[in-house]
Amino acid sequence: MEKTSKKRKKTFTRRAFLKGLGGSAAGTALASKFLRRGLAAPPQEMEAAPVHSQKTVTFSVNGRTVSLEVEPRETLLDVLRQKLNLTGTKKTCDRGECGSCTVLLDGQPVYSCLYPAIRVEGKTVTTIEGLAYGDELHPVQQAFIDKDGYQCGFCTPGFIMSSVALLNRNQKPTFPEIKTALSGNLCRCGNYVKIYEAVRTASERMRKA
Amino acid sequence: MKEHEIVDDLNLAYLEEARGKKAQGKDVPAEAGEDFKLIGQPTARIDGRLIVTGRAKFTNDLTLMNMLHAKILRSPFASAEIVSMDLSQAQNLPGVKAVIKLKEGRVKYEGEQVAAVAAISEKTAEEALQLIKVDYKILPHVVRPEKAVEEGAPQIHDSANVEKFNEYSRGDVDKGFAEAEVVLERTYKTAVEIHQTAETHASIAKLDEDRLTVWDSTQAAFSVRDGLARTLGIPTSKVRVIKTYMGGGFGSKLGLNEHTVVAARLAKETGRPVKIVLNRRENSLCVGNRPSTSITIKGGAKKDGTLVCLSMKNYTCGGVGRGDRCSEPLIDIYKCPNVKVEEYTVYTNTGASRPTRAPGHVQGTFALEGFLDELADELGLDPLELRRKNYSSANQGETGIPYSSKGLNKCYELGAAKIGWERRNKKPGEGGGKIRRGLGVASQIWWGAGVPGTLADIKIHRDGSVEVICGTQDIGCGTRTYIATIAAETLGLKPEDIAVKIGDTVYPWAPSSGGSQTTPSVAPAVRDAALKAAERLKQLVSTTLNIPASRIVLAGKKLFDKENPDVSVTFQDAAKELRREAVFHGERSDLPAGFAYNSFGAHFAEVEVDTETGQIRVAKVVAVHDVGRVINRLTAESQVVGGITQGVSTALFEERLIDDNTGQMVNPNLQGYKISTSMDIPEIVPIFVDLIDPRINNLGTKGLGEPPRIPISAAVANAVYNAIGIHLREIPMTPDKVLKALQGKEANS
């Protein structure tokens, strides 16, 4: 089932990665793997799911290398949420209109809902779960808390990823540059003004640090 | 002294008195809050870390063992008869666990539910939907209210397409018009708006024996619980609803949704948990919308601006559902002896309406405040003066009773100074040039007194740790944080010391989070519980320290003698005296009779209108609000910022578009349905008048959800009027409308 790719040899195995992810993630993902193989007894009916062609892709997520099977119709967003249990990345429109699903792909912000999972081979993905160093939040995350750069919190991961991408390429963005960089993210609660403040605060703190 | 000043001063005098007493070292009533250290300050959310790390779990982020995924097949037609339905192919698709019919006979709008599937994955469920064969007989439809009122239009329900649902009158409008020196009649129109919550609607249903547990993206856990019990015919005691995090509701998640019932039915059918998550198109079509309106106001005034009569006729279209009652602002806010209102729903073959942040008030305020500006111009008066002239210290509606507190005059004063009101065009449109600037104002009234009987418990453990438990829900306003703040303030702790447990119907009852009622319901209940806990601890410590309980103060994680602060015990030691974990029950008290409880505000907008492109840019908004005591200044500001951003969106962009011929929505997505982006946001200045209501509850606080959403669209439209000299009388004010109006003006001049 898990074909060995050239790249995979020097990386973690999927199983090792899942162990690292922790109990709940591993539980979900392993369960589906076993069920697909028909190893687990109940529920039997799972074996009968429609079969689609799959391809193994190997890529890095939040500093760990994963290798897993994806269908050509699956988006990176669905793979992150459903197969890796990284549910911090949100689905709002599922068609590239809102930015809730923004992740960093080789450092660039992309809409993961429009990105075919089969194209992620060999790339580096950073999601909202991968920003903090243990308990220490990324300065952008901390600034969103301090400036109340959110309301319901649903679009927040996407905004934070876009903001991080901006500050990675431009340490001292002007106000119009902040607005433009965030123009691909929608906040329906309408807290943009507070989000600008958060990004400006993070920018100042990162330059001082 | 003018009459209105008495009401404003009533509370200021009360505060002055409290402050005077404090200065003299006398006891100050607790509700004056003069000693508050946390309440009223900006406090970062206690759950911020969860949100910014992506660990806050929304309904769609939850996965249960053996869970199935459901999808709903919906009518593609605005009006059709289901002739036959064949589920067999879908049932035979591997991975499909159940297929159920949801509709027989006639479907009345695009998106109405027809059948549902539960399968092992979302994608399998989607595939199965395509295998359900439905034979429709297409029937004539009508989607435009102007056509639905015509003779011979296709009928939506069993009754006529136009239905009166509200009428009101006081005085005698005919007499009023006879007395009036200036009479004006104008019609204002608003479009259908879609809530477009970031998180689409989602539910998970799980049945254990005869007990149903539902995780729901909802603003109203208890209302969903009661609705499920009623719909499914099971006792309320066997239904539990849990709301974790929720990605925006704005009214579209108030109460039970059809798809939640579908999930419960499929859970029963399959014996497995079932998750259902709507997509963006479904969210656009069938979970509600703000009804459109066509409001005609005819009003008369004396030459000095005294209003003598107002009549209003509202035709409001809520699709297959009701229109919005839009007359409250006109009935209540200004002094006017003769008022007459008639409101009609117009039914069409479109999805049913739903409360949308400040239902009726957004549309009614747009019409009323626009009318006042046009009247002010007719009278040659400053629009702000016209409003002040007709200021009222008593609720003008059926009650006629005085407001418990009203800080609207203060809002006018602070807002006018901050925006620089004197910079407006004295005559609308008098400025020249390609870019025209203008200023506009609009007033706001809303309820938001909260619901008596709301419950909250405080549990103190023997180790001194504290929980607040309440069935309310945080819909993005920072409810968890102010609950912790109030408990911490009262018990002398820090917000982060308090564990807040909310969002579950097994917890004490709290009302739906809609209508600006969460804070004025929940905050006083938490305060009440905390005061009881503090009182009990003081009594226990009073024996230990051998001083009267009245001398004991809770602060800095200690209980100490206020006359000799060195005599103290830690909070932790005091908690041990409780001997076992103790629960203190808090309840939001009744509202004293004889007063009207309303919130007030005024928005001042500055706009730039590009006369070549027709584009409107909102440059600045000053928003001044009287919402009683502000509990958390940080999150309160966010409420205002959000309300204004949404209101600018309503004023300039938002409109559900439906194709007349097909009866189908052409913009059921976020590309075609325009909402404010980061490029459209004005400078926003939120100001609170901090007028603490002495009667409304033990914290003197009013709700803030609706207020900042209400006057903004009207203020922007009035500013555009001030800039170009034409009131567009219709939102959204898209560039085509602006250019058409400017061309019309040129042709007339």
The predicted-structure confidence for A144-170, as pLDDT tens digits, reads as follows 999 999 999 999 999 999 999 999 999
Distance in angstroms between the alpha carbons of the first and the last residue of chain A: 48
Per residue, the 3-state secondary structure of B342-381, as one string, reads EEEEECCCCCCCCCCCCCCHHHHHHHHHHHHHHHHHHHCC
Average pLDDT, chain B: 95
Same fold, B66-140 and B292-449+594-748: no
Choose which CATH entry (3.10.20.30, 1.10.3450.40, 3.40.640.10, 3.20.20.80) describes domain A7-129: 3.10.20.30
Report the CATH architecture of B66-140: Alpha-Beta Complex (3.90)
Task: List chain A residues with CB under 8 Å of B250.
Answer: 188
**Sheet with strand B683-688: strands edge to edge:** B435-446, B599-610, B616-626, B683-688
DSSP code string of B700-718: -B---SSGGGSSHHHHHHH
Mean pLDDT check: name the lowest of A20-24, B333-337, B644-648: A20-24
Are B267 and B274 contacting, i.e. CB atoms less than 8 angstroms apart? yes
Cα–Cα distance, A181 to A165 (Å, whole number): 9
A35 or B135: which leads in pLDDT: B135
pLDDT attached to residue B694: 86
Are B60 and B90 contacting, i.e. CB atoms less than 8 angstroms apart? no
Is the pLDDT at B222 greater than 90? The verdict is yes
What are the DSSP E strand ranges found in A7-115? Answer: 55-61, 64-70, 102-105, 108-111
Q: What is the pLDDT of residues B587-604, one digit of tens each?
A: 999 999 999 999 999 999
**B 238-297 residues with CB < 8 A to A:** 245-248, 250, 272, 279-280
Query: Where along chain A do its domains lie?
Result: 7-129, 139-208
For residue B555, give the amino acid letter.
A
Is the pLDDT at A64 greater than 50? The verdict is yes
Which residue in the block uniquely carries the two structure tokens 């039914």?
B347
For residue B508, give the amino acid letter.
P
Calculate mean pLDDT across residues B98-114. Answer: 98
What secondary structure letter does DSSP report for A36?
A: H
Of A157, A178, A185, the CB nearest to B54: A157
**A 172-201 residues with CB < 8 A to B:** 178-180, 182-183, 185-196
Closest CA to A61 of A47, A42, A39, A77: A77
pLDDT attached to residue B396: 81
Directed axis angle between helix B633-652 and helix B712-724, to 10°? 50
Supply the residues of B annotated as catalytic: 706
What length is written for chain A? 209
**A 21-50 residues with CB < 8 A to B:** 28, 43, 45-46, 48-50
- Name the pLDDT band for B35 (thresholds 50, 70, 90): confident
Residues of chain B with pLDDT > 90, as a percent, come to 92
B124 vs A: CB within 8 A: yes
For residue B304, give the amino acid letter.
D
Task: List chain B residues with CB under 8 Å of A156.
Answer: 51-52
Please list, residue by residue across B285-304, b when 16 or more beta carbons sit within 10 angstroms of its beta carbon and e when fewer do.
bbbbbbbbbbbbbbbbbeee
If one looks up domain A139-208 in CATH, what number appears?
Answer: 1.10.150.120
Calculate mean pLDDT across residues B210-231. Answer: 98
Cα–Cα distance, B339 to B294 (Å, whole number): 18
What length is written for chain B? 749
If one looks up domain B450-587 in CATH, what number appears?
Answer: 3.30.365.10
A109 vs B: CB within 8 A: no
Q: Which residues pair with B382 in a beta bridge?
A: none
Q: What is the pLDDT of residues B492-537, one digit of tens each?
A: 999 999 999 999 999 999 999 999 999 999 999 999 999 999 999 9
Cα–Cα distance, B257 to B262 (Å, whole number): 9
B292-449+594-748, which class in CATH?
Answer: alpha beta
3-state SS assignment for residue A10: helix
- Exposed, middle or buried, B434 (CB in 10 Å: 0-12/13-18/19+)? exposed
Selected residue of A151, A183, A191 to mutate for chain B interface (largest B Cβ count, 10 A): A151
Cα–Cα distance, B53 to A126 (Å, whole number): 12
Query: Where along chain B do its domains lie?
Result: 1-34, 66-140, 292-449+594-748, 450-587
HSE toward the beta carbon, residue B22, CA cutoff 13 A:
14
Contacts of residue A202, defined as CB under 8 A and 6 or more positions apart, other chains included, come to: A139, A140, A142, A143, A163, A167
A100 vs B: CB within 8 A: yes
Q: ω into residue A43 within 30 of 0, thus cis?
A: yes
pLDDT attached to residue B315: 98
pLDDT attached to residue B403: 92
Q: Provide the 10 A C-beta neighbour count for residue B337.
A: 17
Structure tokens that stand for B681 in this block: 């946001």
pLDDT attached to residue B19: 58
Q: Which residues pair with B80 in a beta bridge?
A: B107, B138
Are B223 and B512 contacting, i.e. CB atoms less than 8 angstroms apart? yes
Task: List chain A residues with CB under 8 Å of B93.
Answer: 50
HSE toward the beta carbon, residue B435, CA cutoff 13 A:
8
Of A28, A129, A152, the CB nearest to B248: A152
B654 Rama sector, left if φ>0, alpha if ψ -120 to 50, beta otherwise = beta
Residues of chain B with pLDDT > 70, as a percent, come to 95
Residue B52 and residue A156: Cβ atoms within 8 Å?
A: yes
CA A171 to chain centre: 23
Q: Provide the 10 A C-beta neighbour count for residue A15.
A: 14
Instruction: Give the β-pairing of B182-190 and B730-731.
Output: parallel
Instruction: For B55, name the nearest residue in chain A, comparing CA atoms only.
Output: A88
Instruction: For B284, name the nearest residue in chain A, comparing CA atoms only.
Output: A93
Is the pLDDT at B4 greater than 60? The verdict is no
Residue B649 and residue A91: Cβ atoms within 8 Å?
A: no
Closest CA to B100 of B113, B82, B83: B113
Longest dimension (CA), chain A: 59
Closest CA to B62 of B273, B240, B255: B273
pLDDT attached to residue A42: 42
